[in-house]
Structure 1
Amino acid sequence: MGVHEINGSRDELAKCSTTGSPPSSSSLTDLAEKKTAHTTTTEVDADEAVFEHLENELAQYGVNEDQYEEVKRLANSYTLEDTRARIVKIVQIHEHDPNFQHALIEKFKAFLTNMDIDAHPEDHTVLIREVKIEVALITYNSPYAQVRAVVANVDDPMMPSSTVRAWFIGLSFAVLLAFVNQLFSIRQPAIMIGGNIVQILAYPLGTAAARILPDWGVTIRGSRVSLNPGPFSRKEHMLITIMATVGGAAPFTSLIIWTQYLPQFFNQRYAGRFAYQILIGLGTNFIGYGLAGVCRRFLVYPSYCVWPTSLVTIALNTAFHSNTPVRHRGPFGKLVTMSRLRFFFLAFCCMFAYFWLPNVIFQALSIFNWISWISPNNVRLNSVVGFNNGLGLNPWPTFDWNNILHFGSDPLMLPFFTTLNKFAGSFFSLFIILGLWYSNAFNSSYLPLNSNRVFDHFGKLYNVSQAVDADGLFDSAKYEAYSPAFLSAGNINIYIFSFAIYTATLAYAILYQWHEIKLGFSEFYNSMFHPRRSRDRGRYEDVHNRLMGAYKEVPEWWFAAILVLAIICGIAGVAFWPTHTSPGVVFYGIALCIIFIVPIGVIRAMTGIEVSLGILAEFIGGSLVPGNQLAMNYMKAYGMVTASHALSFTNDLKLAHYVKIPPRQTFAVQMTATLVSTFVCTAVLNFQMNNIPGVCTMDAPNRFTCPWVNSFFTASVLWGTIGPRKIFGIAGQYSMLLLGFPLGLAIALAFWTVKRRFPHHSWLRQVHPVVLLSGAIHWAPYNLSYIWPAVPFAYLSWQYFKKKWPGLWSEYNFVLSSALSSGIAVAGLVIFFAIQWPGIQIKWWGNTVSYQGCENKLDTCRLQYLEKGEYFGPRFGEFH
């Protein structure tokens, strides 16, 4: 967390972290039992007062009874000098942290500037006690209530994790997920199996193995390795989940191979060679690991890197393995005693049953575009309120939780400020899109309002084959005889704010997180050149780093070796086949990733929002090597995808960090699962390419039409072959959009200036410029209907329930998030194979009303239309 241990209290903290104090005699459970046993009114009233006082104390600090006793004991050991020194560090790190309580920062600042406290401490006894408890809580546990809610601040180093049964179950799931996810990734709609389903299935398998397997084993280097080391542990469970999640991710390079190999795309037959496929697959996958190792000191060790998505995974893990009795005050003063596991399965079953209603039986509840039903063919009405093809301005557009979860925007998982900022950015950019369309800026009135497709100057979808030669390289003569590329108003908005978000991200990191980034570089330098000094994690003294200090860390050179080997694989894949691409593109992509990985990583770790480098990689790659789509695709793979992989792997490292899995065991399962997954996915890819007739065409069986591959092909030709110079260059029709780069810098500086001018306005700390911009690019083809419904749920969870019933919120909020997501995932699988795969359709008004008029006719509902033979934009001969 960054708070130094002072005056030799490290041993005291270690004792607090690894042991538990005996339960308080005035615990909530005891008091509740006494209340029912007593018959005297006076005694009942007295116990009621004590009961409510203790409950309020626990609610205020977000801890249980035993933890509260430890915090008070630790606080009593602090001197006033110790307390001040700790507060200085806390304020330095968390002053601009939107997850940290603003009121507490203000309280700490007032404490530091009040010199009367030192002169007359006897006059400030209550304040000193409160501040010491707050400081002790941050040191003893996490500074954040949401982390304290699901992550234990104790550890048992003897608990098994890397066991034979965990490896067998984990690798089995990794192979299964790699096979299924790769096989159905080209289907419309696709089907994916995620980590939550693995957690649910792994638990009965692990517990069955613990009951059935014999205790056979061998002793290796003084440690006994047994088939059955005892009860199935939470660490084994999480290790299996990490292994399966890593293995379930198909290599991004499969998209490159699809577009290279198939005859309807570039027909480069060498792309069917297994060695080529494996080399570029291993290159992109393992470069991410090398960078994840470097990022540990920036994105794993610091406590302000919360990683909200990890908390849901841990909540489900805790639900399966926690036996702690539950007793929390709920609505109407009732005590809630339901266990997390029982609550999970209750919510899971409810969502599983409900999901069939909006997705099979009454689909209008999923796309509840009820305003469009008033006048389905009214272009102006549907442009604003339409769910499918409009901007989605609707008071309540869906009753489908899956739509609310779109792109990981879980309102129960992400902090409220993240959800609200994202909505605000989308809402304000809505008017920019309308302004572009209604003013016919960039000829956008001739195109659909909110499409992510690319069009020609006839208003038709851009036919890339009319601008390239037989080898897929740019053909100037054919291009000049055909058309420039045109974007819809929604897509124009995306590019403006996508350019802005990159400069805003770098500016935000420097303005708000420079101290922490500098600290991470210092620790990385020490780990490379002063290993003994780096072993002292005094600068990261939150409880989880102290507990992880019991395990050997992965040496930096391990990650460095992985990075070097991955680069060699990437270079070999580019150099040994006729790719017409310099191996230097691997280093260009890595350079882009290195520049952005820490800033976007910090933002994702704090807010749950990931800034994709996709558009920037396309822009730079297409500019560096114009006319060569394959070079641009490699740039995207080694820039954008490497960054995305690095952050995913870092997220897994944080998961292991929270659950206290030894780092070297996490490293081993990540490496092994990725290696196995790459080979499995590549084998499945070859089977698909050579055994599915008409694959990636409209005639493909079982809907293997490859929607993502077709979109990838269009993007690769547009930005790689035609190139961004012709679109965004000096003579390009969209050169004005490059003003997005300085706009992002201006936005970040403006908010930073305002926050410094008004430091006591708590709501300003909740304004996050990068998250605002992430909402502004959440368009084409998506819209406000996917964002707004999350806001009320986020408010109820994080602002209402968390404050009114903090114990109840801590116990169930993240479990509920996991249960709802898992119910949707399992129901989706069943619906896919039971309804969609056989082609069963339920046709009635409730399943068709959402697709009437402009909500179904993307190509016809436009603001302006061309007469026969007309075209818009530059005249023939004026573009080249």
Structure 2
Amino acid sequence: MGVHEITDSPPSSSTDLTEKKEANAEVIETTADEAAFEHLEHELAQYGVSEEQFEEVKRLANSYSLEDARKRIINVVKIHEHDPNFPHILIEKFKTFLANPDIEAHPEDHEVFIKEVKIEVALITYNSPYPQVRAVVANEDDPDMPSSTVRAWAIGLTFAVLLAFVNQLFSIRQPAIGIGANLVQILAYPLGRAAARVLPDWGLTVAGSRVSLNPGPFSKKEHMLITIMASVGGSVPYTSLIIWTQYLPQFFNQRYAGRFAYQILVGLSTSFIGYGLAGVCRRFLVYPSYCVWPTSLVTIALNTAFHSNRPVRHRGPFGRLFTLSRLRFFFLAFGCMFAYFWLPNVLFVALSMFNWISWIAPNNVHLNSVVGFNNGLGLNPLPTFDWNNIIHFGADPLMLPFFTTFNKFAGSFFSLFIILGLWYSNAFNSSYLPLNSNRVFDHYGKLYNVSRAIDAEGLFSASKYEAYSPAFLSAGNINIYIFSFAIYTATLTYAVLYQWTEIKLGFSEFYNSFRLRHARDMSRYEDVHNRLMRSYKEVPEWWFAAVLMAAVVAGIAGVGLWPTHTSPGVVFFGIALCFVFIVPIGVIRAMTGIEINLGILSEFIGGSVVPGNQLAMNYMKAYGMVTASHALAFTNDLKLAHYVKIPPRQTFAVQMTATLVSTFVCTAVLNFQMNNIPGVCTMDAPNRFTCPWVNSFFTASVLWGTIGPRKIFGPAGQYTLLLLGFPLGLAIALSFWAVKRRFPQWSWLRQVHPVVMLSGAIHWAPYNLSYIWPAVPFAYLSWQYFKPRWPGLWSEYNFVLSSALSSGIAVAGLVIFFAIQWPGIQIQWWGNTVSYQGCEGKMDTCRLNYLGTDEYFGPRIGDFH
């Protein structure tokens, strides 16, 4: 976005040069101004800044004094100096301005440069400083546009109920099926348009405002409100996993867990604690412009595509002029992906898991351990032709900035060699186990049988444990724990080193929110979106506080009124953990699109504080990890509403209602499943309702709750050294900070993000490099190649393309599930079986070392406790 200084050509030789220069000084100055403004206007127009908007930016810039501009620039540099999303050339331009004392001493000698800088600063105030945001988010608003209408509520709640029902019902199936908000966004548009055509304009006046069944054309605000309701309603309560493991006889057989009141209390408490925290954190994570929330831009791009009728004319490759509207482009890309998705997922599965190097020698342990897609580390230059694999875990290369995708890949690539080193050196006896498994094993190399370490009530049995085996982890899983511990300390350190200014600003605003004179003062957030949102009433802080308190009471009642053998203090533990991490991990997610999961930390602390009690550990995990995850999800929705200019109180009502309805629907479906599906969560269950996630959750709850981290990571544990990950994270964050301080001229260092790199380092077991590397070329093409060369084309179609491809996969996946997978149809031929040959077939097929008959590895029985 930066603008280079414009210099005039040297004048022709003349004896009256001085006279000519003096006579034409005003003309030259005007020409330079016009050239600078024309260049800047053309560049900004590529990102959707119209001529009228540019004139407004110039007017705003002219209102700044030199001192005012200087103060604003100091603030911009302070906040955005280490912001990898902010244009580096602009930061350097601002630093040049601040470092030159002659500008303040002799402003007349730098008039063109000063005017350019003022315009750049004014643009940050008038609009978003980020081109990707300006590309899809309008910097204008119509306060009279309907949003919270009867038809929007009817459609939104219908989809919330439908998504809650389907996602809960099929969450226990292998493979699971789920409906996302992007599919609802597509379906809601024709329904809203139909309602606008069919419904009569019947209404009544309430509190001075008319409420009508049909207030006019279906608006983009109504559309987004429906999408937010669907997003909230589609989330299955995490506490259902706790209920499953408690209630079923093959697990802990605690029959009180079948009571609806118990289920609904714990379900509501985790969700609404998260929402209460989201409201508290909106001054940290929603209002600041640097909180971009990349994942929200795709949703807004699709919303804009449905409701934008402006003409499109953009130059692209080979000078071709593109005039296709966003909506037509969306459906074209959507149809192509829908048709293509059948090829790698039904007709030619080898294209999805393109482990072509493994085909050379399918049974070669050393080859497949490095290049294998299914059971190896996935070092393959061409691993997949399936877009669904590329965007796995939300790592969409069109949606996330290039630096995010590349940093994640770099961290994963580096940790690959650590995993190989652990395996080949037989560190922690890992060579007797599969290389990259997320399962837990005993000292016979078999899956850990938790029933041999617990008593009849599901509590830890020391005698049975000592007669059986410690728990062992694969090399890939060991790597995950090392860098998971590291990422927590690195996140907090990074927040202090790089985000302290933003965090202090957030705390200041949070404090001011309780002061009557300042509670609704949004002037400190000067970007256009906060300025436009001043037209609407803000949600009082006490509303969120009341939600938080009610959720805490529900949680205490759920844990305390039934024989859970768990202190209600776990509720406060979760809130405390969230308060420590929510802002640092929230800012990182808002800037990079990467979420730091608190699951392992919650398990580690919970299992250490209450050893031998799996249920207590599960509740610590639920109130520690899940509330933070919910808070960030709700915050993302708040940012969506902020971008589209939905009144905050309407967003509050929508999220609250959809969460309430969804929790009741999911809980009702859960009870139906537990009591009406014969053999549910066993291998004999009908329709593949075998509950893979429930079984994994049960195993983890016993290992980290019943056996406990002390026996695994404690002083006598076999994995005590893994705790070095905590100081390692601190060292990594400090090292990158020191290097950036030492070499500030290395601009590429601004794109290095240690926390994102660490998130790539834990992207293993059972996933591998084949799920990360393919995104890098696409991210480079989008953000580094197309964006600077054809910014108008990129801003018009990039996020729409991301949404179209994801939506095509979602719809095709649903059709394939019910048409092919549900009836059990299988297409057997070489292209669908070659990817599962040899070591790539079963996890136990290829290991580095094998045991003889009656042999076992690790501590001798009787030597571990």
Residue 660 (1) aligns with residue 645 (2):
yes
Residue 750 (1) aligns with residue 735 (2):
yes
Residue 671 (1) aligns with residue 659 (2):
no
Corresponding residue to 2:624 among 639, 650, 653? 639
1:828-843 pair list within 5 angstroms: 828-843=813-828
Alpha carbons of structure 1 residues 356 and 61: separation in structure 2 relative to 1, 3 Å:
closer
Corresponding residue to 2:51 among 42, 59, 65? 65
- The equivalent of 1:151 in structure 2 is 137
Corresponding residue to 2:193 among 199, 207, 210? 207
The answer on whether the counterparts of 2:36 and 2:112 sit within 8 Å (CA) in structure 1 is no
1:696-735 pair list within 5 angstroms: 696-735=681-720
* Counterpart-to-counterpart distance in 1, 2:119 and 2:785: 25
Residue 694 (1) aligns with residue 679 (2):
yes
- The equivalent of 2:69 in structure 1 is 83
SS of the equivalent of 1:258 reads: helix
Q: What percentage of aligned pairs have identical amino acids?
A: 87
Alpha carbons of structure 1 residues 61 and 104: separation in structure 2 relative to 1, 3 Å:
farther
* Counterpart-to-counterpart distance in 2, 1:139 and 1:760: 27
* Counterpart-to-counterpart distance in 2, 1:349 and 1:75: 46
The answer on whether the counterparts of 1:329 and 1:807 sit within 8 Å (CA) in structure 2 is yes
Residues 669-704 of structure 1: CA deviation (Å, up to 9, x unaligned): 100000000000000000000111111011111111
1:334-483 pair list within 5 angstroms: 334-483=320-469
Residue 118 (1) aligns with residue 85 (2):
no
Residue 108 (1) aligns with residue 108 (2):
no
* Counterpart-to-counterpart distance in 1, 2:353 and 2:330: 27
Alpha carbons of structure 1 residues 326 and 490: separation in structure 2 relative to 1, 3 Å:
same
Shift in Å at residue 534 of structure 1?
2.9
| Counterpart AA for 2:96 | A
Q: TM-score by structure 2 length?
A: 0.95
The answer on whether the counterparts of 1:398 and 1:789 sit within 8 Å (CA) in structure 2 is yes
Residues 695-719 of structure 1: CA deviation (Å, up to 9, x unaligned): 1011111111100000000000000
* Counterpart-to-counterpart distance in 1, 2:363 and 2:41: 58
Residue 136 (1) aligns with residue 114 (2):
no
1:716-865 pair list within 5 angstroms: 716-865=701-850
- The equivalent of 2:172 in structure 1 is 186
- The equivalent of 2:18 in structure 1 is none
The answer on whether the counterparts of 1:414 and 1:607 sit within 8 Å (CA) in structure 2 is yes
Shift in Å at residue 67 of structure 1?
2.6
Corresponding residue to 1:296 among 282, 290, 293? 282
Residues 779-800 of structure 1: CA deviation (Å, up to 9, x unaligned): 0000000000000000000001
Residues 453-478 of structure 1: CA deviation (Å, up to 9, x unaligned): 00000000000000001111000000
The CA RMSD over aligned residues, in Å, is 1.3
The answer on whether the counterparts of 2:86 and 2:130 sit within 8 Å (CA) in structure 1 is yes
| Unpaired segments ≥5 residues, structure 2 | 1-34
| Range with greater deviation from structure 2 (118-127 or 317-326) | 118-127
Residues 707-761 of structure 1: CA deviation (Å, up to 9, x unaligned): 0000000000000000000000000000000000000000001111111111121
Shift in Å at residue 418 of structure 1?
0.3
Shift in Å at residue 51 of structure 1?
14
Alpha carbons of structure 1 residues 278 and 126: separation in structure 2 relative to 1, 3 Å:
same
Residues 426-451 of structure 1: CA deviation (Å, up to 9, x unaligned): 00000000000000000000000000
- The equivalent of 1:166 in structure 2 is 152
* Counterpart-to-counterpart distance in 2, 1:57 and 1:827: 39
Alpha carbons of structure 1 residues 76 and 329: separation in structure 2 relative to 1, 3 Å:
farther
* Counterpart-to-counterpart distance in 1, 2:765 and 2:43: 48
- The equivalent of 2:526 in structure 1 is 541
Residues 288-323 of structure 1: CA deviation (Å, up to 9, x unaligned): 011011101100000000000000000000000011
SS of the equivalent of 1:533 reads: coil
* Counterpart-to-counterpart distance in 2, 1:539 and 1:814: 30
* Counterpart-to-counterpart distance in 2, 1:77 and 1:524: 30
| Counterpart AA for 1:595 | V
| Range with greater deviation from structure 2 (325-334 or 240-249) | 325-334
The answer on whether the counterparts of 2:41 and 2:54 sit within 8 Å (CA) in structure 1 is no
- The equivalent of 2:577 in structure 1 is 592
* Counterpart-to-counterpart distance in 2, 1:304 and 1:756: 22
Shift in Å at residue 54 of structure 1?
8.1
- The equivalent of 2:14 in structure 1 is none
Residues 816-860 of structure 1: CA deviation (Å, up to 9, x unaligned): 000000000000000000000011111100000000000012112
* Counterpart-to-counterpart distance in 2, 1:458 and 1:272: 37
SS of the equivalent of 2:521 reads: coil
| Range with greater deviation from structure 2 (62-71 or 641-650) | 62-71
The answer on whether the counterparts of 1:58 and 1:65 sit within 8 Å (CA) in structure 2 is no
* Counterpart-to-counterpart distance in 1, 2:164 and 2:228: 13
Shift in Å at residue 594 of structure 1?
1.2
| Counterpart AA for 2:56 | E
Corresponding residue to 1:620 among 599, 602, 605? 605
Shift in Å at residue 328 of structure 1?
1.1
Residue 518 (1) aligns with residue 500 (2):
no
* Counterpart-to-counterpart distance in 2, 1:583 and 1:595: 20
* Counterpart-to-counterpart distance in 1, 2:46 and 2:347: 45
* Counterpart-to-counterpart distance in 1, 2:576 and 2:68: 43
* Counterpart-to-counterpart distance in 2, 1:78 and 1:579: 63
The answer on whether the counterparts of 2:483 and 2:761 sit within 8 Å (CA) in structure 1 is yes
Residues 229-272 of structure 1: CA deviation (Å, up to 9, x unaligned): 00000000000000011011010000000000001100111100
The answer on whether the counterparts of 1:62 and 1:806 sit within 8 Å (CA) in structure 2 is no
| Counterpart AA for 1:359 | N
Shift in Å at residue 406 of structure 1?
0.5
SS of the equivalent of 1:534 reads: coil
Residue 311 (1) aligns with residue 306 (2):
no
Shift in Å at residue 70 of structure 1?
2.4
| Counterpart AA for 1:649 | F
Matched positions, count: 831
The answer on whether the counterparts of 1:59 and 1:806 sit within 8 Å (CA) in structure 2 is no
Alpha carbons of structure 1 residues 533 and 52: separation in structure 2 relative to 1, 3 Å:
closer
* Counterpart-to-counterpart distance in 2, 1:391 and 1:531: 57
Residues 175-204 of structure 1: CA deviation (Å, up to 9, x unaligned): 000000000000011111001100000000
The answer on whether the counterparts of 1:159 and 1:233 sit within 8 Å (CA) in structure 2 is yes
Shift in Å at residue 395 of structure 1?
0.5
The answer on whether the counterparts of 2:293 and 2:590 sit within 8 Å (CA) in structure 1 is yes
Residue 531 (1) aligns with residue 516 (2):
yes
* Counterpart-to-counterpart distance in 2, 1:502 and 1:714: 24
- The equivalent of 1:868 in structure 2 is 853
Alpha carbons of structure 1 residues 169 and 515: separation in structure 2 relative to 1, 3 Å:
same
Shift in Å at residue 63 of structure 1?
2.6
* Counterpart-to-counterpart distance in 1, 2:611 and 2:50: 61
| Range with greater deviation from structure 2 (660-669 or 69-78) | 69-78
- The equivalent of 1:563 in structure 2 is 548
Shift in Å at residue 118 of structure 1?
2.5
| Counterpart AA for 1:109 | K
* Counterpart-to-counterpart distance in 2, 1:423 and 1:50: 40
* Counterpart-to-counterpart distance in 2, 1:569 and 1:189: 33
SS of the equivalent of 2:499 reads: helix
SS of the equivalent of 1:312 reads: helix
* Counterpart-to-counterpart distance in 2, 1:786 and 1:67: 42
* Counterpart-to-counterpart distance in 2, 1:810 and 1:863: 50
- The equivalent of 1:8 in structure 2 is none
Residue 488 (1) aligns with residue 474 (2):
yes
* Counterpart-to-counterpart distance in 2, 1:624 and 1:262: 26
